Amino acid sequence: MKYSLSIRAIHWLSAATIIGLLILGVYMTPYDIANIEHSESLYFWHKSFGILSFLFVVVRIINKRRHALPELPTTMPKHEKLAAKFAHTALYLLMIVVPVLGYLQSSTYEFSSGIHFFGIDLPELVPNNNAIFEITNILHKWASYSLIAVLVAHVAGALKHRFLDKENDVLNRIL
Ligand code: HEM
Ligand code: HEM
């Protein structure tokens, strides 16, 4: 049994968006003061796609509840099933927490250019506050790096089942 078409579509849409955001995030920081226009434009796209990725995860959670989900193969060892479920839960948590921290750090940063969602300027939900900025800035960074770590394990697991223990191939169900 495959995942439903909508689950598969949103999995790959958000995977592409998040991987792009991780690369852009690392590339654009620290803010290049000597090239303000270029930096501002990268931050603009990072914030816009970051908020889009948050909308994706909200739609994704609602949509997932409306569909029957395939069970993991019965031939898969228990510890691998546990690891897969743990990784999926961690990915969901990080898909929520990372953009929320991004929004908070942009709101609280004194010199922020605002919060952009493509053409729309969104409100700063929390007033400027340097102490909260410092914390959310570090947490956004480390939560993003944790997302990279879980993602690497998630992809490694998928490839292992695909190529090493083919009877447990799960990639087909999400393609
Ligand atoms: C899933 C969504 C997101 C991912 C994966 C992500 C990832 C990243 C990464 C990897 C960095 C670089 C961290 C570093 O090395 O210092 C970064 C920086 C940043 N992100 Fe995000 N981000 C996301 C969403 C957002 C959102 C929604 C906003 C704001 C509305 C945002 C605002 C920022 C800002 C302002 C920085 C630069 C911080 C600095 O200059 O120190 N991010 N992000
Ligand atoms: C940031 C990128 C990614 C995130 C956040 C992510 C997240 C998830 C989550 C939460 C699931 C559970 C099903 C669901 O609720 O949709 C899943 C399933 C899956 N993902 Fe990803 N994924 C990402 C990228 C990838 C990539 C690049 C691959 C390629 C190898 C991949 C392979 C799979 C497979 C094979 C499944 C099905 C597992 C099963 O049948 O239970 N994912 N992914």
Q: Mean pLDDT over residues 23-46, rounded? A: 96
CA 11 to centroid of ligand 2, rounded, Å: 6
What mean pLDDT, rounded, does the chain reach? 97
Cα distance between residue 155 and residue 169, in whole Å? 12
Give me ligand 2 centre to Cα 154, in Å. 7
- Model pTM above 0.95: yes
Element containing residue 54 per DSSP (H, E) = helix 36-65
Domain that holds residue 44: 5-174
Task: Work out the average pLDDT over 16-21.
Answer: 98
Closest atom of ligand 2 to 84 CA is 41
CATH code of residue 67: 1.20.950
pLDDT cut 90: percent of the chain above it: 98
Q: How many CB atoms lie within 10 A of CB 15?
A: 16
Total domains in the chain come to 1
Span 107-124, mean pLDDT? 96
Q: What is the pLDDT of residue 27?
A: 98
Is there an atom of ligand 2 within 6 Å of 158 CB? yes
Q: 44 alpha carbon to ligand 1 midpoint, in Å?
A: 11
Local confidence band at 60 (pLDDT 50, 70, 90 cut-offs): very high
